[in-house]
Amino acid sequence: MSSSKDVIQAIRSDQDVLYLLDQRHLPERVEYLTCQSGEEVANAIQALAVRGAPAIGIAGAYGLWLESVRLRGTRDFEHQLFRSAKRLEDSRPTAVNLSWALHEALKVINGLSQDAAIMELKAFADNLLTSDIKANRALGDSGLSLFSEPIRVLTHCNTGSLATGGYGTALGVIRSLFRENKLQEVFVDETRPLLQGARLTAWELHQERIPARLITDSMAASIMAKGWVNAVIVGADRIALNGDTANKIGTYSLAILAQYHHIPFYVAAPLSTFDSETLTGNDIVVEERNPEEIRVIKGRRISPEAFPAYNPAFDVTPGDMISAFITEQGIIKPPYDIALAHLKEQRT
């Protein structure tokens, strides 16, 4: 189900149905989940069948469209749609892309008839999907300007076609580097607890034969000390106005390690991940997930049952530890408070 070699189609819509590549089963099997209501999409987002900030924004928009189709002809159509948007928004709180997409979708249908609203919601979601792929390709290529020699990159979590409309953010930059012969090797953090690196990033890189090696999260310091890493490139779930960035748990540790070893630390993200309403990282809500995700790996219990565990899904890296942001409109360099305030002005 790929439209081109480097775009795995993880999100696909058809007549009143949404198909989501169920990422819980990767890399063992490629299986699509069928959703026909907002509730089914919210459950899929919550359970991480679909994940990654841009991907859940797109899935959320399709979820609202599915709900509008389901509610066609009901008296309290609009009220129910607002309730569904809230349910979708609450399914994962940290990534700004989800709440942004839902709020924008609701704006689009303000005052429309039911039939027109259904059509507009579908067009909105379709457009979000295609524009995200376009943004990622531009973002990937804009990252090329940062590197003159072939490099070895360390990345975390999964930021590829699975996490976006297609191509990817940090993995998009890696794809562009590979295409331009500017990539020696990728080190893929396994990304505990849910192994998005080992299961998903490794799967995407393997399909395209991009040279890569898997490491456990705790090996990053050691390979940096050996001089094996020229740059760290990660994605983002929400970027505050001062550059503080929420991303998969473990990102902040990598930033500290990179700083110690004088390795540049880049965040690749589309403009839709920059949140002009959030002033600093302190204002970002970090999702806490079920501790069972730490105690159990792939169905196998690894600690005493119900042993207390803490499971934040994300951490916040201070903006002043980030060398630059790679976006579809080019590279954003510090000082971020000035650069991002300027970006906010341009977007309003």
Active site residues: 237
| Binding string, residues 96-135; x marks residues near ligand MRU by CB under 6 A | ----------------------------------------
Report the residue number, 6 or 78, with the smaller CB distance to ligand MRU: 6
Piece of the chain touching ligand MRU by CB under 6 A; list 6-14, 50-58, 79-87, 206-214: 50-58
Residue, CB closest to ligand MRU: 235
Name the minimum Å distance from CB 120 to ligand MRU.
26
- Please give, one letter per residue, the 3-state secondary structure of the chain: CEEECCEECCEEEECCEEEEECHHHCCCCCCEEEECCHHHHHHHHHCCCCCCHHHHHHHHHHHHHHHHHHCCCCCCHHHHHHHHHHHHHHCCCCCHHHHHHHHHHHHHCCCCCHHHHHHHHHHHHHHHHHHHHHHHHHHHHHHHHHCCCCEEEEECCCCCHHHCCCCCCHHHHHHHHHHCCCEEEEEEECCCCCCHHHHHHHHHHHHCCCCEEEECHHHHHHHHHCCCCCEEEECCCEECCCCCEEEECCHHHHHHHHHHCCCCEEEECCHHHECCCCCCHHHCCCCECCCHHHHEECCEECCCCCCCCCCECEEEECHHHCCEEEECCEEECCCHHHHHHHHHHHHC
Name the minimum Å distance from CB 315 to ligand MRU.
10
Report the residue number, 21 or 157, with the smaller CB distance to ligand MRU: 157
Distances, alpha carbon 133 to alpha carbons 54, 136, 187, 328, in Å = 10, 5, 24, 10
Name the minimum Å distance from CB 230 to ligand MRU.
20
Binding of ligand MRU at residue 53 (CB under 6 A)?
A: yes
| Binding string, residues 60-89; x marks residues near ligand MRU by CB under 6 A | ------------------------------
Query: Beta strand 245-248 with 265-268: parallel, antiparallel or unpaired?
Result: unpaired
CA angle 134, 137, 142 (to 5 degrees): 125
Binding residue (CB under 6 A) for ligand MRU from 118, 240, 241, 313: 313
Report the residue number, 38 or 52, with the smaller CB distance to ligand MRU: 52
Binding residue (CB under 6 A) for ligand MRU from 142, 196, 317, 327: 196
Name the minimum Å distance from CB 246 to ligand MRU.
8
Binding of ligand MRU at residue 175 (CB under 6 A)?
A: no
Binding of ligand MRU at residue 193 (CB under 6 A)?
A: no
Binding of ligand MRU at residue 157 (CB under 6 A)?
A: yes
Q: What is the distance, to the nearest Å, from the Cα of residue 177 to the centroid of all Cα atoms in its chain?
A: 20
Report the residue number, 159 or 327, with the smaller CB distance to ligand MRU: 159
Binding of ligand MRU at residue 235 (CB under 6 A)?
A: yes
| Binding string, residues 290-309; x marks residues near ligand MRU by CB under 6 A | --------------------
Residues 230 and 220: their CA atoms lie apart, in Å, by 12
Binding of ligand MRU at residue 54 (CB under 6 A)?
A: yes
Report the residue number, 13 or 169, with the smaller CB distance to ligand MRU: 169
Amino acid at the residue 131: S
Region 237-256 residues binding ligand MRU, contact defined as CB under 6 A: 237, 247-248
Name the minimum Å distance from CB 76 to ligand MRU.
32
Q: Do 79 and 68 meet the contact criterion of CB atoms below 8 Å apart?
A: no
Report the residue number, 38 or 160, with the smaller CB distance to ligand MRU: 160
Q: Site for ligand MRU (CB under 6 A): how many residues?
A: 17
Amino acid at the residue 4: S
Interface residue list for ligand MRU (CB under 6 A)? 51-54, 95, 157, 159, 163-164, 169, 196, 235-237, 247-248, 313
